[in-house]
Structure 1
């Protein structure tokens, strides 16, 4: 996937200007930046939900080959976990009995064997997130877009689900573009991290290659000798962007 010179505007002034990023096959890329820097807008442009003012998005993929995982799940409350996971498969032409079988396989892979009959209201936050992830992965996407998908989870559940995601995308060779505010999460998961400046007219200021080998455990990755220096550099660069915005506001 390649985004070239992308500009997105919601009015007279662009929120994002001239952004270019690349996600190679099987690569995990994160996008970080201050609030209001257009991170989520870029994801919406990639999936076709936001029309850019200028620039191009090239994926070479059919819409069914791109998955999207949001902070808030989109589970239908009147359908069971199994039915929610099977829904996309049925929509794409899989016969319902086969779709139900595949749904059960993915629920089992994500630690939810025996939960297929439950409705979303009877699932914990972590279980709902796993169902949403199964819903996306059952479609066998080649590109997975994630917008702060773990932000609402408590620390232990979050760590476990992040580990599961990391293992699955490595095994399935899925390309990933993750939007997150969590620098540790970005570094521990990614092959490359892009930093956006403060908006409006946000732009990509830096990209950081993560020299931590794969296969990778996101928890153990934080103990790698390269982690702390990279975190410090990314933190300092992000802090400068936030400070620059605060100084600009104080002069208004």
Structure 2
């Protein structure tokens, strides 16, 4: 549940907020806000309110409407791609759609940099709330035989590469594109990946026990598999002939199997804020 920030605390901090899921009350007419993860801004009751929004330098911002329609809200506000008044205005209708993004994600506007400004030209006629999140940039592809999209949520990015490589080469390939080889921490995330690419290939993930037999961990994050979500096939992992890497095999079984890391499969890369 989001918390309301007391007005006097915001004023004492020079209108600077940096916590997860904060709501900035509508009585405030503009200010400067740093987005650590997520903030919610209520539309002001005044005209000519101006918000300067910033997140960490290697991330971008995504803006959605919690209630109401963001496209219709453009009648009342302008979202600038950058902090200057002369920065380009971002429009919902100009946002390009990734081929593999989830269709049920909310209508959103993405910046191309770590700063944005929101200028309310007039007070909305409804109780409009803007949700502003830190996000990663998402390419449309990583080159030949690849697809990308907002597969899990609005803020992360996933790219499938259909060029077969061994586990180490796929890890390096993802890293070279400032991404990591896939992790699957929850069933919800796995189902989202399955919905996007589940029946198209066998994909390497970053799960491995190469360092210590039987000790499985996600190489991309350094997090141990257990205790945690797992979806091994029956009798797996069996370490047949020294199998130390895990791939997902939805096309045949819909579960996980361990294979020799030297084998060549496709892969999914991820970038998470």
Question: If each structure's strand is expressed as a fraction of its own residues, which one has the higher value?
Answer: 2
Higher helix share: 1
TM-score, length-scaled by structure 1: 0.27
TM-score for the superposition, normalised by structure 2: 0.26
Structure of greater Rg: 2
